[in-house]
Every structure is written in structure tokens, then in C-alpha cells.
Amino acid sequence: MPHSTILRSTVALVTGASSGIGQATARRLAAEGATVVLVARRQDRINTLAKEIAERDGHAVALAADLTDPAAAAGVVGAAVAQLGRLDMLVNAAGVMLLGDAIGAPLPEWQQMVDINVKGLLYITKAALPHLVDAATTHPRQVADVVNISSIAGRFAIPNAAVYNATKFGVTAATESWRQEFARRNVRFSVVEPGLVETELMGHQQAAVQERMTARFADVEQLHPDDIAEAVAYIVTSPRRRAVAEIVIRPTDQV
């Protein structure tokens, strides 16, 4: 059962909802009373999550889409609004991290990071913006939210991660530009920049990269996806007067 009603009668669209931060955020926003639109490529996983949320007396709709296709991104926003009548929040949690030395890195990995981390986020945000502006003027909350999940890699460049750094720096920069553009229209833009989080991202790495990362951070207690979901919930449940532009959250042990 939802433990809060603060987001009752609102609709939140969460990308990357099939696992990790996106999945945890969808659960948390549903618990806060929002109807959650679950977006990911893996239909089976978001169907399972939608069923789980319903069993807890929450409300969720599962819409599979490949957000690297601009038509698909626009289509999923359109479908959500057509079914639910509005859109109050967008959480961009879909992303991929593929690290490795630049010379040996497969070019398709670089393209994949740009396509998912940047283009997909741009496409769905573009489609959502008119509905968010409308929600900010018609809902009693008088505010709408976009929360972009970036990374501490969007603040500090590290070796063997040039393209990942570039995509996350881009997300952070775009978020701040949009924040300024839409502040007077009551659409809040926020960026959350986590450090190490226990998600599937590490499993996407080449074996050699996984080994190096595991050894480097062996003594670090990683964040849980729920830690990031809590930060997102703090942002979107804040009163209209309070806009949280940026949250950096690291494991206590991570230097």
C-alpha cells in the first residue's frame, strides 16, 4: 500500500525501469501515491514490476520502448498521456556504462553510450516538455519535475572513461540549461549524480574492466538503488517553492 499520498493524482514516467535505479525509483514514486509509467526495452521485466506495484495497492503502466528511436520516445510519452491524461514527472534513469582503454574500445560501445545516455534522454525529454508545462499550470501542486540520473562521472573526468564522461557531463549541462529555461514556468529540472551503485551496469563491462573495477573498489560498500530513489523522492515531493538543482551522492567509503 502507498505509504504517502503526497503524489496522489500525479503521473510519473520512469525510464530504465526494468532494473537498478529506475526500478527502485518507480517503486518509491508509486509508494508516494503517483501512477507510474514504466519504460524500458524489456517488456517482461516491467510487466513484472507493474504487477508487483499493483499488489501493493499502487498504480503502474508498463510501456516497452527503445528510446534511442525518437519516434518510439515520442510514442511512449503520447501513449502515457493518452491513457492517463497527464504527465507530472519524468525521471530519466536509462543509461549504460562501458569503460576501457580508448584504443582497444569497440566503437559500437561508444555509439551505444551516446545513443542511450544522451540521445534517448533528449528525445523523451523533448516529447514530455509540453505535457510537463501543462501539468505545472493545471495541477494543485503547481509544479512539474524532470530528474536526470547522471553520475559523478558528470563532474570529474577519469581515464578509460572518456565517452562515458562526455555523456554524463552532457546530461549535467543540459539539465542546468533546462533548469534556467523552465524555472519561471514551474518545471523543475534536477540532476542526481551517484557514485558507485550496486546495479547491472558493472556487468555490462568487458571482463578485464570488471576485474580492474572490482579490485579497485573491493573495500567500498556500494550504494543501493533505493538510496538514489530516496534522493529522487526528496526532489519531487519538495514543495513548489523549493527546487533541488543537484544532488551528489557517494558511498561513504568512496574517495
Q: Please list the active-site residues.
A: 164
Provide the 3-class DSSP secondary structure of residue 11: strand
35-40 β-sheet, strand order: 59-64, 35-40, 11-15, 89-92, 144-149, 187-194, 246-249
CA dist., res. 121 & res. 174, Å (int): 10
E-only strand ranges, the chain: 11-15, 35-40, 59-64, 89-92, 144-149, 187-194, 246-249
Nearest Cα to Cα of residue 217 among 133, 152, 149, 147: 152
Strands 35-40 and 246-249: unpaired
Amino acid identity, position 211: E
CA dist., res. 229 & res. 18, Å (int): 14
Contacts of 199 (CB under 8 A, 6+ apart): 19, 20, 21, 225
CA dist., res. 164 & res. 182, Å (int): 27
